[in-house]
Structure 1
Amino acid sequence: MDKLSEILQQKFGHTSFREGQKEIIEQVIAGKDVVAILPTGMGKSLLYQLPAYFMKGAVVIVSPLLSLMQDQVEQLKMFGEKRVVAINSFLTYEQKEMVMSNLAMYKFIFTSPEMLQNKRFNCALSSISIAYIVADEAHCISQWGYDFRPDYLRISNWLDAFPEANVLALTATATQKVVDDIKGTLHMSNPFEFIHSLDRPTIAYEVQKADSQKEKEAWIMGRITTTNGPGILYTQSRKKAEYYAYELEKKGVKVAFYHAKLEQEDRVLVQQQFQQGDLDWICATNAFGMGIHKDNIRQIIHDHIPTSIASYMQEVGRAARDGKQSIASLIYTNSDVEQAFYVAMKDFPDETDIHAAFQSEEYQILLPETTFRILSYWKEILSEQETIALFHDIKKRKWLEIQKLFTLFQSELCIREQILNTFDEQLTTKPKNCCFNCSLDLQQLLTKREYQNLENIELNWFNRINELLRP
Structure 2
Amino acid sequence: MLHHLKHYLGYNEFRPGQQEVVEALLQGKDVLALLPTGMGKSLCYQLTGKMMQRTVLIISPLLSLMQDQVEQMKKMGIKRVIALNSFLTRMEKQQALQQLSQYEFIFTSPEMLQQGDVKERLTQLNIGLITIDEAHCISQWGYDFRPDYLRLGKWLKSQKNIPILALSATATYEVMDDIKKVLHMTSPFVYLHNMDRKELHFSRKWFNTTDEKVRWIKEHVMQTMGPGIIYTPSRRKTEEIARLLQDVHIQAAAYHAGLESHDRQLIQAQFIANELEWIVATSAFGMGVHKPNIRQVIHETMSPSLAHYMQEAGRAARDGQDAVATLLCAPGDDEIIRFLALDDLPTKNMVTDFYAGRQLELSETQLRVLTYWYSEWSYDEAIQKLKELITQKMTAIRATQDVLYTDECMRVLLMSHFGQSKQVEELCCSLCSDAVDNLIKVRKWMPLPQQMKLNWQERLDKLLN
Please say whether Structure 1 and Structure 2 have the same fold, judged by a TM-score greater than 0.5: yes
1:254 corresponds to: 251
Mapped partners of 2:102, 2:166: distance in 1? 25
SS at structure 2 position matched to 1:35: strand
2:153 corresponds to: 156
Counterpart amino acid of residue 302 in structure 1: H
1:38 corresponds to: 35
User: How many percent of aligned residue pairs carry the same amino acid?
Assistant: 44
Mapped partners of 2:193, 2:116: distance in 1? 37
1:340 equivalenced with 2:337 (yes/no): yes
SS at structure 2 position matched to 1:305: coil
Q: Per-residue displacement from partner, 1:56-106 (whole Å, max 9, x unpaired)? A: 431110000111101110111011111100011111111111000111011
Shift in Å, 1:337: 1.2
1:69 equivalenced with 2:66 (yes/no): yes
Counterpart amino acid of residue 305 in structure 2: S
Is the CA contact (8 Å cut-off) linking 1:204 and 1:440 kept in structure 2? no
Mapped partners of 1:141, 1:436: distance in 2? 35
Mapped partners of 2:56, 2:96: distance in 1? 15
SS at structure 2 position matched to 1:363: coil
1:228 equivalenced with 2:222 (yes/no): no
Which among 415, 434, 444 is matched to residue 438 of structure 2? 444
Shift in Å, 1:160: 2.6
Mapped partners of 2:352, 2:345: distance in 1? 13
SS at structure 1 position matched to 2:359: helix
Shift in Å, 1:444: 3.3
Counterpart amino acid of residue 275 in structure 1: I
2:391 corresponds to: 396
Mapped partners of 2:224, 2:421: distance in 1? 33
1:217 equivalenced with 2:214 (yes/no): yes
Which among 363, 384, 403 is matched to residue 368 of structure 1? 363
Mapped partners of 1:165, 1:247: distance in 2? 53
Moved over 6 A (4+): none
Mapped partners of 1:428, 1:213: distance in 2? 34
Q: Per-residue displacement from partner, 1:288-321 (whole Å, max 9, x unpaired)? A: 1111111110000001121111111111000000
Shift in Å, 1:407: 2.0
2:407 corresponds to: 412
Counterpart amino acid of residue 240 in structure 1: K
Quick one: structure 1 residues 119 and 251, their matched pair in 2 at CA, closer, same or farther if it must change by over 3 Å?
A: same
| Count of residue pairs brought into register by the alignment | 446
More displaced stretch, 400-409 vs 280-289: 400-409
1:197 equivalenced with 2:194 (yes/no): yes
Quick one: structure 1 residues 437 and 389, their matched pair in 2 at CA, closer, same or farther if it must change by over 3 Å?
A: same
- Any residues of structure 2 matched to 1:67-106 within 5 Å, and which? 67-106=64-103
Quick one: structure 1 residues 11 and 271, their matched pair in 2 at CA, closer, same or farther if it must change by over 3 Å?
A: farther
More displaced stretch, 205-214 vs 145-154: 145-154
1:455 corresponds to: none
Where do 5+ consecutive residues of structure 2 fail to align? 447-465
More displaced stretch, 150-159 vs 281-290: 150-159
1:329 corresponds to: 326
Query: How does the TM-score come out when normalised to structure 1?
Result: 0.92
1:180 corresponds to: 177
2:460 corresponds to: none
1:48 corresponds to: 45
1:433 corresponds to: 427
Is the CA contact (8 Å cut-off) linking 2:203 and 2:437 kept in structure 1? no
Counterpart amino acid of residue 420 in structure 1: M
More displaced stretch, 441-450 vs 197-206: 441-450
Mapped partners of 2:327, 2:429: distance in 1? 11
Q: Per-residue displacement from partner, 1:150-188 (whole Å, max 9, x unpaired)? A: 221111112133122110000001000000000001000
1:380 corresponds to: 375
SS at structure 2 position matched to 1:80: coil
2:281 corresponds to: 284
More displaced stretch, 242-251 vs 322-331: 242-251
Is the CA contact (8 Å cut-off) linking 2:196 and 2:424 kept in structure 1? no
- Any residues of structure 2 matched to 1:311-330 within 5 Å, and which? 311-330=308-327
Shift in Å, 1:375: 0.8
SS at structure 2 position matched to 1:319: coil
Shift in Å, 1:443: 5.7
Is the CA contact (8 Å cut-off) linking 1:236 and 1:304 kept in structure 2? yes
More displaced stretch, 255-264 vs 59-68: 255-264
Where do 5+ consecutive residues of structure 1 fail to align? 453-471
Mapped partners of 1:119, 1:63: distance in 2? 18
Mapped partners of 1:43, 1:273: distance in 2? 23
Shift in Å, 1:451: 10
Shift in Å, 1:334: 2.3
More displaced stretch, 189-198 vs 379-388: 379-388
1:422 corresponds to: 417
1:301 equivalenced with 2:311 (yes/no): no
SS at structure 2 position matched to 1:164: coil
Quick one: structure 1 residues 442 and 416, their matched pair in 2 at CA, closer, same or farther if it must change by over 3 Å?
A: closer
Query: How does the TM-score come out when normalised to structure 2?
Result: 0.93
1:268 equivalenced with 2:262 (yes/no): no
